[in-house]
């Protein structure tokens, strides 16, 4: 095609555009993204003055903006960049932050951020704050209040609990049982039984308890004794315990859950012994309690001790040869009220 023929074609195209514009009137033709990309690539090399002389459907500034959009999209595809802003926190870090907050109620977001730094995890303190806030956890130090259950779990090795249990013999006489439970090992000590729990009797029972703890080497570990506000306890026992370095912790009025471990033992004592045995008198009661104390401490399993007894560790699992040749013997206590099983020798 010669130059004259090209000029004629351009004039014809321009006239056709004039006719289309006259027919459309105020309406502007709609261009697709691919049309814009083509026009931008075709017209951008021309100078701005040349673009103004051309009869285009859009202004030169619009053509240049189309070209910038094309370059921006291309750059985004090449570099693989995501949306602007900080990247999302890894889910494992988020779970770790919530775990640290759950296991350490006294830690604020700054303390948690410091622990993450020690673990080599780089994270802004504000990010930790936002994670805790989104999970409904107070990021500040207002979570420092220690609950009663948390206190008992953390101080179980240093806590003793004491309580009175009432029962009635066949003669109608009321008997009072005083017992103490060590929270960590769940060992029970029956301190005595009496029909008249005087202050002198209770004081001597507490002294006997301290001597027993000293003989077993556990007195140095005990720091708290939990009891209720029963009038049977004299004020003198607090002084005796205080001289041994043991502080008395009184439970709330009608709040048995504050002495829950002892209450659970009382339930076991009633269900496994007192409700199944006819107690003749005080002597019979002491004998039954001595048998049950040995059964409870040396044989009865406890879920909190991983199915071990307070004074007996969990045995090793049996091998396949012994399982195939099981020989189990039963030992009866208190005439068959309590059953204990062991391997035949």
The string of pLDDT tens digits covering residues 153-205 is 878 899 999 999 999 999 899 999 999 999 999 999 999 999 999 999 999 99
Kindly list the distances between the CA atom of residue 18 and the CA atoms of 22, 31, 61, in Å, as whole numbers in the listed order. 6, 17, 21
User: pLDDT tens digits for 254-292?
Assistant: 888 899 999 999 999 999 999 999 999 999 999 999 999
Topology of domain 154-315 in CATH is Nucleotidyltransferase; domain 5 (3.30.420)
Q: How confident is the model at residue 246 (pLDDT cuts 50, 70, 90)?
A: very high
Comparing 138 with 207, the larger pLDDT belongs to 207
Q: Using pLDDT thresholds of 50, 70 and 90, give the confidence band for residue 222.
A: very high
The domains of the chain are located at: 1-27, 31-81, 91-144, 154-315
- Contacts with 178 (C-beta within 8 Å, 6 or more apart), sequence order: 162, 163, 164, 165, 190, 191, 192, 193, 197, 202, 205
Q: Exposure of 313 by Cβ count < 10 A (0-12 exposed, 13-18 middle, 19+ buried)? A: exposed
Residue identified by tokens 């049977």 is 232
Choose the weakest-confidence range: 35-44, 232-241, 246-255. 35-44
**How distant, in Å, are the alpha carbons of 184, 265, 311 from that of 297?**
13, 12, 5
Report if pTM > 0.85: no
Q: What is the 3-state secondary structure (H, E, C) of 41-96?
A: HHHCCCCHHHHHHCCCCCCHHHHHHHHHHHHHHHHHHHHCCCCCCCCCCCHHHHHH
Q: Which of 228, 247, 230 is nearest to 238 (CA)?
A: 247
pLDDT at 84: 58
pLDDT tens digits, one per residue of 132-144: 888 888 887 655 5
């Amino acid at each position: 095609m010669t130059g004259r023929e090209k000029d004629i074609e351009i004039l014809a195209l321009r006239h056709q555009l004039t006719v289309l514009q006259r027919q459309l009137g105020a309406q502007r033709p709609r261009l697709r993204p691919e049309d814009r990309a083509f026009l931008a690539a075709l017209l951008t090399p021309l100078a701005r003055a040349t673009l103004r002389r051309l009869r285009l459907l859009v202004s030169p500034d619009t053509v240049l903006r189309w070209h910038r959009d094309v370059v921006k999209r291309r750059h985004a595809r090449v570099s693989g960049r995501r949306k602007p802003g900080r990247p999302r926190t890894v889910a494992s870090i988020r779970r770790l932050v919530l775990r640290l907050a759950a296991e350490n109620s006294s830690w604020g977001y700054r303390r948690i951020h410091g622990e993450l730094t020690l673990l080599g995890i780089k994270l802004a303190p504000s990010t930790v704050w936002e994670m805790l806030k989104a999970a409904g956890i107070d990021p500040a130090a207002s979570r420092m209040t220690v609950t009663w259950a948390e206190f008992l779990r953390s101080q179980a090795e240093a806590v003793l609990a004491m309580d009175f249990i009432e029962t009635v013999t066949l003669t109608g006489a009321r008997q009072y049982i005083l017992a103490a439970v060590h929270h960590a090992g769940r060992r029970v000590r029956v301190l005595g039984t009496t029909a008249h729990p005087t202050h002198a009797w209770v004081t001597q029972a507490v002294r006997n308890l301290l001597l027993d703890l000293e003989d077993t080497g556990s007195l140095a570990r005990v720091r708290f004794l939990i009891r209720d506000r029963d009038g049977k306890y004299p004020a003198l026992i607090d002084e005796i315990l205080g001289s041994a370095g043991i502080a008395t912790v009184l439970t709330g009025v009608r709040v048995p859950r504050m002495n829950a471990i002892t209450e659970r033992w009382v339930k076991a004592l009633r269900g496994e012994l007192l409700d199944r045995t006819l107690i003749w008198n005080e002597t019979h009661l002491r004998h039954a309690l001595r048998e049950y104390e040995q059964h409870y401490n040396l044989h009865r399993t406890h879920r909190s001790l991983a199915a071990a007894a307070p004074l007996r560790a969990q045995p090793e699992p049996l091998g396949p040869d012994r399982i195939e040749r099981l020989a189990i013997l039963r030992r009866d206590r208190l005439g068959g009220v309590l059953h204990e099983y062991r391997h035949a020798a």
